[in-house]
């Protein structure tokens, strides 16, 4: 009986270390100096270099993007019973920290223009809930939300804005980095992100005092004293010096990664746009995306499940667009404001493989597999 050779796996988005080995240089430095701890030169320098890269005054390197959202909510004064507006079309890590703070999420719908928080739905939410402590804004798949409109609404209501830019490092809105419009911005360095530290996150703000406070909270809120003294609740959220070394090396190749992600998106768009029912994620004049995940919606006979199964048969990873939070079993009890745009995007959406290690041959494999669903021999 002949053995069937398994085709090489093509991932959705996987870690990609620099060809130059920048990361190893910084890791070696940590080992050579014995700073294998949640503090050290790499942590300090990663914070400084990152803040400089996105043009923010201060940054705190943390154990995850989720930890960064949690501390941003805490810094914004969110506490028990407070209402926080949150996009429904996002990963659960955006919403979970609201619950950590015993606050109440209200989920806001998307619009088709950006796939992100709908300014109209946001206005409607403020009419229903005038007493709001904070608004969480997500830049989905590297697409910027319409920040001028959103910031205008939030300023009118005098509410704190936290940007979840976990998926949008390297994305610009009108020439400015996403994550730098609100009071706080958060970034993720999870293994599937555009740059990775294996796990990790960054909290940024122009409020240097609050970033210093976030660092304090992230190291168990240990007071300045000879003995261990704690006057506030603390968390074990600080990034390690080894992990920060990986981040420093990765930051050097960020622009290159964005360039490759754009190349992947443009190739897909060129090859697949002509097929019935395929529509690509939106482009706007004011948005320079990092194209973290190239995504499409389908409105014809070919459905998302057809693409998922065809690609999986070829050992190629793809996935649905995020399932909205208001549809999730855990979050169903919380209010949702909108017209169901997010539900349609989930129902019809496909995230295509966007791994920066893909070769042109890999991309051809993906494209030909998808085309095969329309072109039957």
pLDDT digit of tens for each residue in the chain (377 aa)? 445 678 999 999 999 999 999 999 999 999 999 988 888 999 999 999 999 999 999 999 999 999 999 999 999 999 999 999 999 999 999 999 999 999 999 999 999 999 999 999 999 999 999 999 999 999 999 999 999 999 999 999 999 999 999 999 999 999 999 999 999 999 999 999 999 999 999 999 999 999 999 999 999 878 787 888 888 888 999 999 999 999 999 999 999 999 999 999 999 999 999 999 999 999 999 999 999 999 999 999 999 999 999 999 999 999 999 999 999 999 999 999 999 999 999 999 999 999 999 999 999 999 999 999 998 74
Helices 65-75 + 92-100 axis angle, to 10: 40
Q: Which CATH architecture group holds 254-371?
A: Alpha-Beta Complex (3.90)
**CA distance linking residue 128 with residue 130, whole number of Å:** 6
The domain locations on the chain are 22-251, 254-371
CB 121 within 8 A of CB 127: no
Topology match between the domains 22-251 and 254-371: no
Q: Which pair of structure tokens corresponds to residue 223?
A: 């007071």
Q: Could you say which architecture CATH assigns to the domain 22-251?
A: 3-Layer(aba) Sandwich (3.40)
What gap in Å lies between CA 281 and CA 265, rounded to an integer?
10
- Predicted confidence at residue 18, as pLDDT, reads 97
What 3-state DSSP class applies to 161? strand
| Virtual torsion, Cα 272, 277, 282, 288, nearest 10 deg | 0
Buried/exposed code over 116-148 (b: 16+ C-beta within 10 A; e: otherwise): bbbbbbbebbbeebeebbbbbbbbbbbbbbbbe
Q: What predicted TM-score, i.e. pTM, was given to this entire model? A: 0.96
Q: What share of the chain is helix, strand, coil (3-state, %, to 5)?
A: 40, 15, 45
Question: Could you tell me the CA-to-CA distances from 49 to 29, 54, 55 in Å, in that order?
Answer: 17, 9, 10
- Map residue 260 onto helix, strand or coil: helix
CA gap 333, 120 in Å, rounded: 23
DSSP 3-state of 292: coil
């Amino acid at each position: 009986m002949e053995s069937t050779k398994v085709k090489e796996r093509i991932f959705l988005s996987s870690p990609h270390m620099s060809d130059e080995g920048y990361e190893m240089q910084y890791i070696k430095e940590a080992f050579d100096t014995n700073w294998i701890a949640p503090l050290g030169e790499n942590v300090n320098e990663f914070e400084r270099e990152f803040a400089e890269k996105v043009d923010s005054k201060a940054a705190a390197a943390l154990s995850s993007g989720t930890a960064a959202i949690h501390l941003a909510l805490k810094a914004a004064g969110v506490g028990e019973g407070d209402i926080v507006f949150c996009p429904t079309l996002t990963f659960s890590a955006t919403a979970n920290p609201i619950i950590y703070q015993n606050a109440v999420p209200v989920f806001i719908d998307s619009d088709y223009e950006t796939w992100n928080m709908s300014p109209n739905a946001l206005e409607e939410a403020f009419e229903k809930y005038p007493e709001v402590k904070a608004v969480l804004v997500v830049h989905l798949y590297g697409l910027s939300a319409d920040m001028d409109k959103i910031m205008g609404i939030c300023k009118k209501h005098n509410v704190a804005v936290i940007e979840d830019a976990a998926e949008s490092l390297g994305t610009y809105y009108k020439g400015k980095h996403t994550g730098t419009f609100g009071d706080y911005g958060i970034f993720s360095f999870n293994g599937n992100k555009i740059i990775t530290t294996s796990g990790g996150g960054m909290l940024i703000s122009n409020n240097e005092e609050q970033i210093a406070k976030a660092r304090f909270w992230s190291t168990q809120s240990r007071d300045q004293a000879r003995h261990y003294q704690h006057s506030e609740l603390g968390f074990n959220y600080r990034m390690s010096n080894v992990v920060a070394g990986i981040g420093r090396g990765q930051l050097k190749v960020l622009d290159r990664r964005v360039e490759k992600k754009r190349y992947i998106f443009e190739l897909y768009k060129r090859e697949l746009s002509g097929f019935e029912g395929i529509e690509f994620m939106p482009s706007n004049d004011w948005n320079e995306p990092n194209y973290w995940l190239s995504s499409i919606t389908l409105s014809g006979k070919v459905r998302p499940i057809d693409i998922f199964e065809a690609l999986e048969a070829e050992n190629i990873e793809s996935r649905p667009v995020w399932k909205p939070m208001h549809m999730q079993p855990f979050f169903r009890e919380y209010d949702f404001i909108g017209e169901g745009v997010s539900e349609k995007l989930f129902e019809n959406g496909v995230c295509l493989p966007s791994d920066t290690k893909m070769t042109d041959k890999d991309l051809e494999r993906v494209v030909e597999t998808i085309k095969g669903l329309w072109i039957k021999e």
